[in-house]
Homo-oligomer: A and B are copies of this chain.
Amino acid sequence: MRTLSQNPGPRGTNEIGDDPASSVGGGRPSRAISHLLVTGGGGFVGGNLVRMVLRERPAWRVTVFDSLGGRLSTPVLDGLREAHPGRFRLVRERITEGGSLRRLLRDDGVDAVVHAAARNPSGSGVGDPVSFAEINVLGTAAVLEAARAAWKEGQGTFVHLSSYEIFGSHPEGLFTERSPLNPSTPYAASKAAADELTLAYHRTYGMRTLVTRTTNIYGPYQSSDKLIPSIALRVRDRKPLPVFGTGENRRDWIHVDDHNRGVLLAMERGGAGRVYPLGARCERTNLELVREVARCSARILGFDEEEAEALIAFAPDREAHDARRALDPATSESELGFAARIPFADGLQEAVRTTLLDTGAPAVIR
C-alpha cells in the first residue's frame, strides 16, 4: 500500500480539457488523427468501426490488431485492403503479447487506439472467468502499457469500448456515466476492471484515455450465436425460438453504426479521463424483441409472420441475472453532439437481411 501520495496528479494533456464543467457543446475543436489502431478490429463492433472509418475519414490510415482466433481473415474485413489501397492493414497477433504492439505504436505513427478486443460470453452460460480476466483485464493493461511506452505525453488518444453491463440491473430509471459499478457476472466484472484501469491511466499518467459505455448493440456481421442473428436463423430453419423465463427482462438496443459514430465523436471531441454513455433510447422486453425479429425475418424470407411468431417457446431460466438495463445518453448528446439516428425497424431489417441472405456487404444506413 502506498502511503505517501501528495501529488494532485498530472493534468490532462489534451487540448480539450478534462474539466466536466468546461466540456460543453459539440462544436469543440476536433482532435486531429492520422492513424487509428483498432484492437479486436476483426470482431463485430471493431470491424464495423474499421469499415466506417475507411468510408468516412478518408485521410486516416487504419491498422487492425486482432489474432482472429487463428483464422486468416474474417468476413467483416474482407476486401478492405483492396478497396482502400495503402490505408488498411491487418496484424494478426494477440493483445496479451504486448511487444509487437508497442513497436507498432511507436514506429508507425499511430496516434489513436480504439480498444475493442474483448472476450465475451458466447451463447448461453456465463463463460470462463479466468479467460475474461486474462483477455479483458490483462489484455487491456498490455495495450495501455504499450501506448504509454510508445507515446510521448499528450501524443495519443486511447478509447476503451465498454458496456452498460458493468452497472448490473436497474428496476427503474436509467444508467448514466455516474452510475455506480455493480457487475453481476465475472464477465461484467472484467469489463468494469478494464474501464477502471483505462481511467486510472489518465489519473496517474495524464494519458488521454476515454471510455464509452454502450447498451446492447446489433447490426451486420454480428456473430450467429447472438440473440438477433440466432433468432433470424432459427426462423429460417423453422426451429423453436427460445425465450427464457417470462421474457420480461428488458434491454436497450443501439445499431452498431450509431454506436461507432459515438465512439468517433468521443475520440475526436471527448474530454480526457471521461466516460461517455452511448445508447438509442430503445428499450424492449426480450419477448417484444424476439417477436419483432421473428416477424422481420418472416417478411424477408417470405414466410407467414404469424407462423414465425408462433415458433416462440418459453424455456427455463438461465444462469444469469440482470432484470433490466437501460441507459441515458444525454451527456454524450450535450457534450459530443452525439445522436443515434438509425430507426430500430430500419436497422433491424438490414441486420436480419444480412444474416439471412448472403448479399456481401450490407447497405449503409444513414
A181 in contact with B193 (CB, 8 Å): no
Interface-facing stretch out of A28-36, A126-134, A347-355: A126-134
Q: Are B321 and A186 in contact (CB under 8 A)?
A: no
Number of copies: 2
Name the residue of chain B whose CB is nearest to the CB of A121: B2
**Which of A5-13, A75-83, A84-92, A261-269 sits within the interface?**
A5-13
Assuming the contacts A189-B200, A203-B321, asked whether A216 and B8 have C-beta atoms less than 8 A apart, the reply is no
A196/B193 in contact, CB under 8 A: yes
Residue contact B204 to A186, C-beta cutoff 8 Å: yes
What B residues does A248 contact at CB under 8 A? 6
Q: Are B165 and A186 in contact (CB under 8 A)?
A: no
Q: How far is the CB of A209 from chain B (nearest CB, A)?
A: 11
Q: Is A322 an interface residue (CB 8 A)?
A: yes
Q: Which residues of B contact A184 (CB under 8 A)?
A: 9, 200, 203-204
Chain B, residue nearest A285 (CB): B6
Complex Cα distance, B137 from A8, in Å, reads 26
A286 at the interface (CB under 8 A from B): yes
Contact present for B249 and A6 (CB under 8 Å): yes
Interface-forming stretch among A56-64, A108-116, A312-320, A356-364?
Answer: A312-320
- Complex Cα spacing A319 to B244, Å: 50
Q: Across the interface, do A197 and B186 meet the contact criterion of CB distance under 8 Å?
A: yes
**Which residues on the B side are within 8 Å of A132 (C-beta)?**
141
Residues of chain B within 8 A of A249, CB atoms compared:
4-6
- Closest Cβ of chain B to A1, distance in Å, is 6
A 278-297 to B, binary, CB cutoff 8 A, 1 in contact else 0: 00000000100000000000
Residue on B with the closest CB to A185?
Answer: B204
Q: Interface 1/0s, chain A 307-347, versus B by CB < 8 A? A: 00000000001111111000000000000000000000000
Q: How far is the CB of A139 from chain B (nearest CB, A)?
A: 9
**In the complex, which residues of chain B have a beta carbon less than 8 angstroms from the beta carbon of A321?**
5, 7-9, 203-204
Q: A6-B323, A193-B193 are in contact. List 16 more A-B contacts (CB 8 A).
A: A2-B126, A3-B226, A3-B227, A4-B244, A5-B318, A5-B320, A6-B320, A7-B321, A8-B321, A129-B197, A180-B180, A183-B196, A183-B200, A185-B200, A186-B197, A192-B196
15 pairs, CB–CB < 8 Å, chain A vs chain B: A1-B163, A1-B216, A2-B126, A2-B320, A3-B227, A6-B244, A6-B246, A6-B249, A7-B244, A8-B323, A129-B145, A133-B197, A137-B138, A189-B193, A192-B193
Residues of A within 8 A of B (CB): 1-10, 98, 120-121, 124, 126, 129-130, 132-134, 137-138, 140-142, 144-145, 163, 165, 168, 180-181, 183-190, 192-193, 196-197, 199-201, 203-204, 216-217, 226-227, 242-249, 251, 286, 317-323
